[in-house]
Amino acid sequence: MTPKKRLEIIVDGALQDKVLKLLATHGVTGYTILPALSGEGPEGAWRGEGLIADVGQMVVILSILDAAKLSVLETILPPFLDKHQAICTVSDVMVFRPSKF
Amino acid sequence: MMDLALQTLLSPMILFFVLGLGAAFMKSDLSVPSAIAKGMSLYLMLAIGFKGGVQVSTAGFTPDLAWTGLAGFLLSLCMPFVAFFALRKTTTLPAADTASIAGHYGSISIVTFIAATQALKTAGIPFEGYMIAVAALMEAPAIFTALRLASRYDPETEATPWHHILANGSVVLLAGAFFIGMITGQEGMNTLESFVVSPFKGVLCLFLLDMGLVAGRGLMESRHLLRGSLLAFGLYMPFLGALMAGGLAAVLSLSAGNAALLMVCAASASYIAAPAAMRLALPQAKPAISLTLAMGITFPFNLIVGIPLWIALAQAFTGGSQ
């Protein structure tokens, strides 16, 4: 198995396309999006249930990438995260087929 | 006026909304999944847009349609100025939040509009089908004005998301269904009647139950953000909007039903199109403030008190003409 990095960004659904565009311009084109149900943070509690617009419905953007690509994202993601109140984590993972990522 | 208020308050739609609010306040686990809520909102917009289009195909284009559309467009374009400067004078909110709220209040709530059409039907007050096109026209101009105001006072404002504003799903579906109704006319209505007419009120009741739950929970979770003058804004801004629209309706000699719907649009605040555009162009603005104000204060106010009040005022402004 091959070591890779797993990037995880929790962001408002209305900003999903903006994040994907930002990632794509820095070579991160593969991703998976998951819906988030509810949560609580410094800005208070939120829940996506029953909402009809994208705003307020949080999503999780997952991407598996090389450590080399991560160094570029380290400079561009923090200012974006500060401005848009998003959460981003990076963790180590192992993959079976490295050519897929 | 009291009869109309009682008739509206005791309608199943409003009672289901109040049930949703009550369930949220008592922390019930009652909930409507987002996918169902979205599906119902799509159905309601399709049905009301289509019915409006069919009515216009029967009545044809009239100068009233063009003038009322222009009035709605201008109202939406100008109302953010009133909201922005009222908030700047009475609150200490940053310019980005002020502009974001102004954009929400200049744009409209299509759910309030739909509820108002049902109240008018129950009261036997006629209105023109083209009012749905006027409502669709009032969604976007306010967002444009609010973002211009924001860019003047806050250099961090990002580029206007034109595509997102103009191609917003609610605008596309409302306008699209309206044109489909206009093209297919009565024949189209005969085909879709069992889908767009009979289930409409039942779906609206279930949808308003969900809106009550969402409004109540939003209010409980973010009520600490709304204090004094900001809370008051959520209640007096609908009056300012409705009075501006009422004045225009009187100048244009609109019928009581059309005037009431124009007033309802001007008194309502958006929570579909405007929040998304503001989130993209004004990331520094806090959506919890504008959404809680629009959904937790102004929406219930309009639904329970505003609609009968705007209808009564519209009758007074227009001399009750039909």
Predicted confidence at residue B33, as pLDDT, reads 86
Where does the pLDDT of residue B233 fall: very low under 50, low under 70, confident under 90, or very high at 90 and above? Answer: very high
Predicted confidence at residue B288, as pLDDT, reads 82
Contact indicator for B68, B252 with CB cutoff of 8 Å:
yes
Is B163 a residue whose pLDDT tops 80? no
DSSP string computed for B276-320: HHHHHH-TTS-HHHHHIIIIIIIHHHIIIIIHHHHHHHHHHHHTT
CB atoms within 10 A of CB B60: 7
Q: Which residues of B touch A (CB under 8 A)?
A: 31-34, 37-38, 41, 156, 210, 213-214, 217, 221-222, 224, 271-272, 275-276, 279-280, 283-284, 286-288, 291
Is B129 a residue whose pLDDT tops 70? yes
Chain B neighbors of A39, CB-CB under 8 A: none
Tell me B272's DSSP state.
S
Backbone angles phi, psi at A93, to 5 degrees: -135, 165
The answer to whether the complex's ipTM is over 0.85 is no
Could you read off the pLDDT tens digit of each residue along chain A, which spans 101 residues? 899 999 999 998 888 888 999 999 988 889 999 999 888 877 777 777 767 666 778 899 999 998 888 888 888 888 888 888 789 999 999 999 888 88
Predicted confidence at residue A79, as pLDDT, reads 85
Percent over 70 (pLDDT), chain B: 98
Chain A neighbors of B34, CB-CB under 8 A: 48-52, 57
- Tell me which residue has tokens 């709220």: B101
Structural tokens at position B253: 């000699």
Please answer yes or no on whether B34 and A54 come within 8 Å at the CB atom.
no
pLDDT greater at residue B322 or residue B55: B55
Q: Which whole number is the average pLDDT over B228-245?
A: 95
Predicted confidence at residue B18, as pLDDT, reads 93
Percent over 90 (pLDDT), chain B: 60
Interface test with B, best of A22, A52, A58 (most B CBs within 10 A): A52
- Which ranges in chain B belong to alpha helices (H)? 2-9, 12-25, 34-59, 63-90, 95-106, 110-123, 131-137, 141-153, 162-166, 169-196, 200-222, 228-251, 256-267, 273-281, 287-291, 299-301, 307-318
How near does any CA of chain B get to the CA of A30, in Å?
23
Q: B56-60, B147-151, B230-234, B235-239: which has the minimum mean pLDDT?
A: B56-60
What is the helix (H) or strand (E) element at residue A95, kind and residue range?
A: strand A87-95
Q: Which whole number is the average pLDDT over B66-85?
A: 95
Q: Within a 13 Å sphere around the CA of A92, how many CA atoms are in the beta-carbon half? A: 3
Predicted confidence at residue B322, as pLDDT, reads 58
Non-local (6+) Cβ contacts of B124 within 8 A are: none
Is B258 a residue whose pLDDT tops 70? yes
Distance CA B249, CA B146 (A): 24
- Tell me which residue has tokens 């999903």: A16
Is B4 a residue whose pLDDT tops 90? no
Q: Which whole number is the average pLDDT over B110-124?
A: 92
Distance CA B248, CA B308 (A): 19
Q: Which whole number is the average pLDDT over B271-294?
A: 85
Please, what are the domains in chain A?
A: 2-100 (3.30.70.120)
Chain B neighbors of A53, CB-CB under 8 A: 271-272, 275-276
In CATH, the architecture of B2-9+42-318 is: Up-down Bundle (1.20)
Is B156 a residue whose pLDDT tops 70? yes
Residue B320 carries which side chain, given as an amino acid letter? G
Chain A neighbors of B288, CB-CB under 8 A: 43-44
Contact indicator for B130, B138 with CB cutoff of 8 Å:
no
User: What are the domain boundaries of chain B?
Assistant: 2-9+42-318
Interface test with B, best of A16, A21, A37, A55 (most B CBs within 10 A): A55
Tell me B157's DSSP state.
P
- Tell me which residue has tokens 């124009």: B262
Residue A62 carries which side chain, given as an amino acid letter? L
| B47 closest CA partner among B168, B186, B203, B165 | B203
Backbone angles phi, psi at B42, to 5 degrees: -65, -45
Residue A19 carries which side chain, given as an amino acid letter? V
Distance CA B314, CA B242 (A): 9
Where does the pLDDT of residue B266 fall: very low under 50, low under 70, confident under 90, or very high at 90 and above? Answer: very high
Contact indicator for B152, B96 with CB cutoff of 8 Å:
no
Predicted confidence at residue A85, as pLDDT, reads 74
Is B152 a residue whose pLDDT tops 70? yes
Is the sign of the CA dihedral B91, B95, B100, B102 positive or negative? positive
Predicted confidence at residue A72, as pLDDT, reads 83
pLDDT in tens, B175-208: 899 999 999 999 999 999 999 998 999 999 999 9
Q: Which whole number is the average pLDDT over B277-295?
A: 86
Distance CA B9, CA B190 (A): 32
Predicted confidence at residue B320, as pLDDT, reads 62
Please answer yes or no on whether B272 and A52 come within 8 Å at the CB atom.
yes
Chain B neighbors of A45, CB-CB under 8 A: 221
Backbone angles phi, psi at B105, to 5 degrees: -80, -20
Where does the pLDDT of residue B146 fall: very low under 50, low under 70, confident under 90, or very high at 90 and above? Answer: very high
Non-local (6+) Cβ contacts of A39 within 8 A are: A10, A45, A46, A47, A58
Distance CA B305, CA B48 (A): 23
- Tell me which residue has tokens 């949080």: A58
